């Protein structure tokens, strides 16, 4: 299995300020790159829990007594930790989005670069896939999805075009879908297709709601002074993380107590978002859109 080098590896791990005897969680285990780096900083009393909902990730589990793998969605972080008799942890890392392995595996249907059925499920156990969405969602549902999750300007006409197209034939293969999208493309073809595929992927995997659930659970299970390190890849994710770290809610609303003090639950560690340096950008194209934010629980 080919997994690329983890994005912002040193910066995200350094942000955790690791205690060698602590308990840490990598909620997006994937190829295990971030986990391996965390394990190097733990002694024999430390422990790492790795989460992943993709069964393929199981092949990368390290043979290490200090590591526990949980096959599950990170949105249920609190529940799964309790099931494993873990109450509080010292730090949590999340590398959001789709792994390079998933993007590069044609049959998973995440990329418009390959001919494949439109799947896009991060977990093959999920029933809903991209094909189902394109062939069953109403025009209004499609419009909202492409507008909210893809930020596509002509999302309304795109939704109408899909409804008209599927009246004559099922939308299933990526080649048919891309051909149908042709007349709808505005500006850069690559950018437009990326936005369309992003919207579908987010809807298939309920990524925005899962991220919200995860962030709330992360605050619940972190010790006071514990760190949360999150790498995001598009503005929808980054905005949620930024607001939650800054004011404790997803809307970015400042909540004040009776004395006018802002009620905070986290202290952002980095004032500005951390981006990949020039060297990493040259070595890893996935790093172009990566944004890292780190916060400490108050």
Which tens digit of pLDDT belongs to each residue from 257-277?
Answer: 777 777 889 999 998 999 999
**Residue 118 maps to which CATH number?**
1.10.150.170
pLDDT of amino acid 110: 73
Question: 270 and 282: one domain?
Answer: yes
Which domain-ending residue is among 205, 224, 251? Answer: 205
Question: 149 and 270: one domain?
Answer: no
* List of the chain residues with pLDDT < 50: 1
pLDDT of amino acid 81: 97
DSSP 271: S
Which domain-ending residue is among 174, 190, 205? Answer: 205
pLDDT of amino acid 265: 94
Burial class (CB in 10 A: 0-12, 13-18, 19+), 7: buried
Question: 76 and 223: one domain?
Answer: yes
pLDDT of amino acid 4: 63
Question: 151 and 35: one domain?
Answer: no
What distance separates the 2 farthest-apart alpha carbons in the chain? Answer: 63
* 46-57: pLDDT as tens digits: 999 999 998 888
Which domain-ending residue is among 205, 237, 269? Answer: 205
pLDDT of amino acid 263: 81
What is the C-alpha to C-alpha distance for residues 244 and 239, in angstroms, rounded to an integer?
8
Asked, for residue 238, whether it belongs to a domain, the answer is: yes
Question: 81 and 120: one domain?
Answer: no
**Domain around 133:** 107-205
Q: Which residues of 250-275 are buried (b: 16+ CB within 10 A; e: fewer)?
A: beeeeeeeeeeeeeeebebbeeeebe
DSSP 256: B
pLDDT of amino acid 234: 93
pLDDT of amino acid 100: 65
Total of domains in the chain: 2
């Amino acid at each position: 299995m080919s997994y690329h080098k983890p994005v912002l590896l040193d910066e995200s791990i350094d942000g955790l300020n690791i205690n060698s005897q602590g308990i840490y969680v990598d909620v997006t285990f994937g190829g295990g790159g971030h986990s391996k780096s965390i394990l190097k900083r733990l002694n024999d009393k430390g422990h790492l829990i790795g989460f992943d909902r993709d069964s393929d990730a199981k092949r990368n589990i390290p043979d290490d007594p200090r590591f526990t793998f949980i096959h599950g969605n990170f949105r249920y972080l609190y529940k799964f930790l309790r099931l494993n008799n873990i109450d509080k942890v010292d730090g949590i890392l999340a590398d959001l989005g789709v792994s390079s392995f998933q993007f590069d595996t044609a049959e998973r249907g995440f990329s418009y670069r390959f001919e494949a059925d439109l799947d896009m499920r991060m977990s093959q156990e999920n029933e809903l896939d991209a094909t189902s969405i394109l062939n069953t969602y109403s025009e209004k549902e499609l419009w909202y999805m492409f507008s909210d999750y893809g930020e596509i300007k002509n999302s309304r006409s795109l939704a109408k075009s899909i409804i008209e197209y599927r009246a004559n034939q099922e939308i299933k293969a990526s080649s048919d879908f891309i051909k149908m999208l042709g007349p709808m493309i505005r500006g850069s073809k690559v950018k437009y297709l990326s936005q369309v595929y992003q919207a579908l992927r987010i809807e298939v995997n309920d990524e925005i709601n899962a991220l919200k659930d995860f962030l709330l659970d992360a605050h619940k299970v972190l010790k006071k002074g514990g760190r949360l390190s999150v790498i995001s890849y598009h503005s929808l994710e980054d905005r949620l993380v930024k607001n939650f770290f800054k004011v404790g809610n997803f809307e970015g609303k400042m909540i004040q107590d009776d004395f006018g003090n802002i009620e905070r639950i986290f202290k952002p560690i980095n004032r500005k978002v951390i981006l990949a340096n020039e060297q990493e950008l040259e070595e890893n194209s996935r790093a172009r859109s990566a944004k890292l934010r780190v916060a400490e629980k108050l």
